[in-house]
Amino acid sequence: MRAISNVDELRESLESGHTEFVVCLNFGAISRKTIFPREDGGFSVFYGIDGTFRHMSAEELRSEDIIGKAMAAGAFFEDS
């Protein structure tokens, strides 16, 4: 699994065809995310844990979502 540490790396990963990602949680648990780029530069995120979708800008992803926190903590990865 490749670590994703910022939005630019996430965009590169999406451009190379990856859409499945994981957030590593405590005690070895993971939370799966499916992410698609949007034409407006934002992202559409499917949260596997509860089956919800969220559409957000890059700034929202960085500052308001668990994904941004996981990136900063080194806990966000491509799912192979």
pLDDT of 80 reads 72
* Helix, strand or coil, per DSSP, at residue 80: coil
- Inter-residue contact 30 to 23 (CB < 8 Å): yes
* 43-80 per-position pLDDT tens digit: 999 998 899 999 999 999 999 999 999 999 999 999 97
Alpha-carbon distances of 59 from 4, 26, 64, rounded to whole Å: 16, 25, 8
Edge-to-edge strand ranges of the sheet holding 52-56: 52-56, 43-47, 30-37, 20-24, 76-78
- Write out the two tokens for 77: 């990865």
